[in-house]
Amino acid sequence: IDNSEDLLMQKTKLFDSKFAMLQTLAGSIHKQRLAAAQPFQQSVSALLKQLGMPFGSFKIDCTPTASITDSGMSRVRFLFSANKGIAEAEIDKVASGGELSRLMLAIKWMIAGAGFVSTVIFDEIDTGVSGEVAARVARLLRQMSEKVQLISITHLPQIASKADAHFFVFKEESKERSFTNIRLLDQNERYEEVAKMISNDAVSDVALQAAKSLFEVN
């Protein structure tokens, strides 16, 4: 090929120029991550306390890398501790099911508040929680729904009673196959479904009254 050496030199210079630009951008993104990490982790930790974890702590470990990866020039780890005096560690190594649910809720609360999404879907975000903690989760979900459209799949009466609309998902079977259906409930049907959640499918007068009380509180 004619002028191959000149062409190679041109391409090498172009590559070096683009790579230098890439390094500059990656370095800038790393600095922005460091700046954002502190307020973000503080806000998430504060939300964990609202969700019944008085010693809950969330930290973001953002360290520079020697080379550029698919994450830029940063190695980012989310660290968590639920207990006083225990150092934060990687989430998958220390968080229980209930702790993970609340941590994910807190993180998604922050994302929703920043306006990055218009719809948030939670698939049993209430896993591993009950009682007063469930009530706190429900209140936070309700507050989040004022900022974004929120869809929550739940088995907890505290959460189901907070919704503007309640859809019942159920299965039906034919001779050939099973079908999953969904139906919007009216108010009386909502009372019954929440009562079932309270009393494990048995709709007693006591459970029905308790269900109505949850709606009255809301």
Q: How buried is 92 (Cβ within 10 angstroms: 0-12 exposed, 13-18 middle, 19+ buried)?
A: exposed
Whether the pTM exceeds 0.85: the reply is no
Local structure of residue 55 (DSSP, 8 states):
T
What is the average per-residue pLDDT within 152-178? 92
101 is written with which tokens? 């649910």
The β-bridge partners of 89 are 80
103 is written with which tokens? 């941590």
6 domain residue, yes or no:
yes
What is the average per-residue pLDDT within 128-157? 90
Local structure of residue 88 (DSSP, 8 states):
-
203 domain residue, yes or no:
no
Is residue 57 predicted with pLDDT exceeding 90?
A: yes
- Minimal CA–CA distance to 34: which of 83, 87, 73? 73
Domain that holds residue 28: 1-95
How far apart are the two ends of the chain, measured CA to CA in Å?
78
12 domain residue, yes or no:
yes
Number of domains in the chain: 1
Is residue 1 predicted with pLDDT exceeding 80?
A: no
120 domain residue, yes or no:
no
24 domain residue, yes or no:
yes
